[in-house]
Amino acid sequence: RTIRREDYRPPDWLIDTVHLDFDLGITETRVVAMMALQRNGTHDRPVRLDADGSWPTALRVDGIATPWRKDGEGDEALIVAVPNASAELVIETRLTPDQNSQLMGLYASGGLLCTQCEAEGFRRIVPFVDRPDNLAVYSVRMTGDRSAFPVLLANGECVETGDAEDGRHFAIWHDPWPKPSYLFALVAGNLVANRDSFKTMSGKTVDLAIYVRDGDLDRTGHAMDSLKRAMRWDEETYGREYDLPVFNIVAVDDFNMGAMENKGLNIFNTKYILADSDTATDLDYDGVEGVVAHEYFHNWSGNRVTCRDWFQLSLKEGFTVYRDQSFSADMGSATVKRIEDVRILRAAQFPEDSGPLAHPVRPDSYQEISNFYTATVYNKGAELIRMMATLTGPERFRAATDLYFDRHDGEAATCEDFVRAIEDGGKVDLDHFRLWYSQAGTPRVKARLAHDATSGEAVLHLDQSVPPTPGQPDKKPMAIPLRVKAFDIAANSAEGAAEEQLVDLDTGSQSVALGRFSRPPALSINRGFSAPVTMEIERAPGELAWLAANDDDGFARYEALQQLMVETLVARIGGEAGDIDALVAAITETLKGADADPAFVAEAVMLPSEAYLGDQMLVVDPQAIRDVRRDVQRLVGQKLAPRWRAIQSGTATDHADVSPLAKGQRRLRGAALAYLMASGEADAADIAFAQFEAAGGMTDRQSALLALAHGDSPLRQRALDAFYDRFHGNPLVLDKWFQIQAWAMRDDTPERVAELAGHRDFTLANPNRVRALYGAFAGNQASFHRADGAGYRLIADLVIALDAKNPQTAARLVPPLGRWRRFDDARQRLMQAELRRILETPGLSKDVAEQAGKSLSG
Ligand code: ARG
Ligand code: ZN
């Protein structure tokens, strides 16, 4: 069944007060929910509550036991007649948390009880008006065995605790802020806390706690520091203060996503809380900081102002991603952060936007909302906010967000409400810009610079087109803000160039005068990646190399070098030689900045991924891409071998130092080692193994292990075994062991992944483990797309097996099979056959059915 945005209407009945009483147990939890119901408007329709298996063991209306019935094709609702305009409704349910393998609603993770209610999990606890436009005040009483559940947590503040009979105890929590049911949370278990406090800008003290299992406490310091930095940053940058006296975080092993912003009680995947330098890489540290900030920022962009319906998901997710990106940019290098964010956008969102699952940032329809927690809603959504901030400038953007929070505080709002607040507060016309919310597909912009030798006039000619996407065959031109600057190539530096312009490309074709130059200038366009588009630019010889060396926008410098690499690689894939020497010269030039900004240099000198190269081709040839990329890596490795050696052997950093500089040095060291390994120099594997053994932390250890994992030196297995022996007791590090082997660019990777699926440490019950093995493998282009189809079978087998337990996580592995249109006929047939096999599986979830169905036909 398809849900459509245009069918939105407010709920017939509202619930504004909820008292929940939980009698906790891992095998059985009993719930009594007491709810104040109000008829919304005048009508005579019965109460229809969303439900998902949580059928009442008792139901009373104003104290009277009342009959009810199931409703809907899939029994997704409960209907009960209520005679008056308001009533007290009591529903009792019995849940079996340890059988909840979907990890939605109330479930057991280890000996712990926890919840995940976004998007539609609350209805698995008790039938409810389970939609985000029903705001209610919750109080929660939990009673449970004191030894099994010494810690009892819910949203808001703890108002009472005490003893109950038979060694049990209870706690009552109250959250004064009205909220939708998806923000409800409860945790009960044996946990220890890292406690701290934060003084808000108005002088209030907030008690902070991060709850983890005993033994994990000494890995929570970075998360706590990140939380305090995020709280301060949101005050300083957006004027947003925290609004409760406590803020709790709990980390759990089994979690479908990264984390969840439940009011006052964020629940996290351990992956985004636990970090120390021996077990987490620098990138893991960045992930913790970014996700802790993201969930915290939701307190305003999501909780205080929430979404009217799930079509508006990007209202909170796009904005909150933009906010966490800005925060991380402020905490480290803004340029490197921008490079990383654009890389994620291109790797995850662009393919989505050009395939069968393409949808607008504000989708028009869905079958299963869990399938719409996508790179489009999150990452492209963040790009939309960024473009609006570019159009207003920072001061007016701040005025606009102040207006937005002020105007909609306590409401369930829409994307349109957000755009209107930016227009009103930011004094900008976004009439045409709104199309970004409704029109899917990545716009293509062609740029050509014409230079008149006599007048010196340089004119930029731009053309845009938006490709068709499912359900949207004809597209209108978008409003595309392009930051543009032209440089005099002869100047040999960025100095004295004309001012940057913000070009608003809002028609199909447009020409812009860039000023007078004595010779054709170098064109720097879409600087800072000001718009999420693909550019096709006519370049003069030497222009990219000049920009890579001299552009005064860091992102544009990176982009120019990447483009030079793409051109060389694509030429060689097409059977030409490409200009390797020019590429080596440009890399050499970039390496001069290694001491000053090693993180940037590390990003810039790495060859584009196999997948990105595939995206540049009409028909993806995964094996040719792998062979050519590896060959160019070997050539660059050889020609610059002394540089790579020097960087790799240069000062090994202290992993406890997580300053941007030290992190950058380690990142560059990893890049140097990768080139050294590729070079085929006789001692390369020994160098990698030595780095592995002597590593002072996980960053150097993982980069060394990964370098070895691609090859076939005997040291490969030795390193993998040593890593396993040392770390197999730590689930997050063991995930790396699986992941690295699934990433290996080797011919036998499909066989190896199949073997690892049978390893005693592999389990379908833990989403992190599944993603570490199969998610990593599906992203390993040439291995997943091996010509015999072994990779496709592996993923389809997994989707089918996992769907029976955890549809949400299973559905996330379907899209790689949906990319079949990009490949040759033989691969297309193999991929389609696997999609069909999935679709023919009896009892398929609607999550997987939607993704596989659309992937086959969309
Ligand atoms: N709102 C969470 C976040 O992005 C994501 C939770 C989504 N969970 C889910 N089961 N769909 O911060
Ligand atoms: Zn979020």
- In three state form, how does the secondary structure of 494-515 look? CCCCCCCEEEEECCCEEEEEEE
**For 653-678, how does the pLDDT look when each residue is reduced to its tens digit (9 = 90+)?**
899 999 999 999 999 999 999 999 99
What average pLDDT does the segment 58-75 reach? 97
pLDDT band at 493 (very low <50, low <70, confident <90, very high): confident
For residue 469, give the DSSP letter. Answer: B
Q: Which atom of ligand 1 is nearest to the CA of 291?
A: 12
Supply the residue whose CA is at minimum distance from atom 6 of ligand 1.
260
Q: Given ligand 1 and candidates 124, 373, 845, which is best to mutate, with the most ligand atoms within 8 Å of its CB?
A: 373
Supply the residue whose CA is at minimum distance from atom 10 of ligand 1.
118
pLDDT band at 496 (very low <50, low <70, confident <90, very high): low
- Residue 203 corresponds to which tokens in the numbers above? 């002088």
Q: Which of 118, 120, 289, 295 is catalytic?
A: 295
How far apart are alpha carbons 418 and 362 in whole angstroms? 12
What average pLDDT does the segment 368-392 reach? 99
pLDDT above 80 for 603: yes
Q: Given ligand 1 and candidates 118, 300, 371, which is best to mutate, with the most ligand atoms within 8 Å of its CB?
A: 118
What average pLDDT does the segment 353-370 reach? 98
**Contacts of range 762-766, beta carbons closer than 8 Å, 24 or more positions apart:** 762/738, 764/801, 764/802, 764/805, 764/806, 765/101, 765/254, 765/805, 766/253, 766/254, 766/731
For residue 682, give the DSSP letter. Answer: T
Does residue 683 contact residue 645 with C-beta atoms inside 8 Å? Answer: no
Q: How far is the CA of 820 from the centre of ligand 1 (A)?
A: 28
Percent of the chain with pLDDT over 70: 100
Does residue 224 contact residue 208 with C-beta atoms inside 8 Å? Answer: yes
Supply the residue whose CA is at minimum distance from atom 7 of ligand 1.
118
Q: How far is the CA of 48 from the centre of ligand 1 (A)?
A: 26
Residue type, 292: V
Q: Which atom of ligand 1 is nearest to the CA of 121?
A: 10
Supply the residue whose CA is at minimum distance from atom 1 of ligand 1.
260
Q: Is 160 a catalytic residue?
A: no
**For 232-286, how does the pLDDT look when each residue is reduced to its tens digit (9 = 90+)?**
999 999 999 999 999 999 999 999 999 999 999 999 999 999 999 999 999 999 9
pLDDT the model gives residue 774: 99
Supply the residue whose CA is at minimum distance from atom 2 of ligand 1.
260
Q: How far is the CA of 342 from the centre of ligand 1 (A)?
A: 21
Does residue 263 contact residue 179 with C-beta atoms inside 8 Å? Answer: yes
**For 497-554, how does the pLDDT look when each residue is reduced to its tens digit (9 = 90+)?**
779 999 999 999 999 999 999 999 999 999 999 999 999 999 999 999 999 999 999 9
pLDDT above 90 for 691: yes
How far apart are alpha carbons 664 and 822 in whole angstroms? 36
Supply the residue whose CA is at minimum distance from atom 8 of ligand 1.
118
- CA 232 from chain center: how many Å? 23
Q: Which atom of ligand 1 is nearest to the CA of 808?
A: 10
Which ligand places an atom closest to the C-alpha of 373? 1
Which ligand places an atom closest to the C-alpha of 847? 1
| Ligand 1 pocket, Cβ-based, cut-off 6 angstroms | 116, 118-119, 256-257, 259-261, 294-295, 317, 370, 373, 808
Which ligand places an atom closest to the C-alpha of 266? 1
Q: Which residues of 610-636 are buried (b: 16+ CB within 10 A; e: fewer)?
A: bbbbbbbeeebbbebbbebbbebbbbb
Supply the residue whose CA is at minimum distance from atom 3 of ligand 1.
260
Question: Residue 812 in 3-state DSSP?
Answer: coil
How far apart are alpha carbons 670 and 668 in whole angstroms? 5
Q: How far is the CA of 426 from the centre of ligand 2 (A)?
A: 24
Q: Given ligand 1 and candidates 257, 292, 315, 369, which is best to mutate, with the most ligand atoms within 8 Å of its CB?
A: 257
pLDDT band at 490 (very low <50, low <70, confident <90, very high): confident
Measured CA angle at 98 (ends 97, 102), to 5 deg: 75
Supply the residue whose CA is at minimum distance from atom 11 of ligand 1.
370
pLDDT band at 489 (very low <50, low <70, confident <90, very high): confident
What average pLDDT does the segment 211-230 reach? 98
pLDDT the model gives residue 551: 96
For residue 451, give the DSSP letter. Answer: E
By C-alpha distance, which of 105, 107, 97, 126 is closest to 27? 97
Q: Which atom of ligand 1 is nearest to the CA of 116?
A: 10
Which ligand places an atom closest to the C-alpha of 321? 2
Q: How far is the CA of 524 from the centre of ligand 1 (A)?
A: 37
Q: How far is the CA of 422 from the centre of ligand 2 (A)?
A: 21
Q: How far is the CA of 317 from the centre of ligand 2 (A)?
A: 5
Mean pLDDT (the chain, rounded): 98
**For 783-798, how does the pLDDT look when each residue is reduced to its tens digit (9 = 90+)?**
999 999 999 999 999 9
What average pLDDT does the segment 593-600 reach? 97
Which ligand places an atom closest to the C-alpha of 322? 2
Q: Which atom of ligand 1 is nearest to the CA of 373?
A: 11
pLDDT above 90 for 495: no
Q: How far is the CA of 315 from the centre of ligand 2 (A)?
A: 10
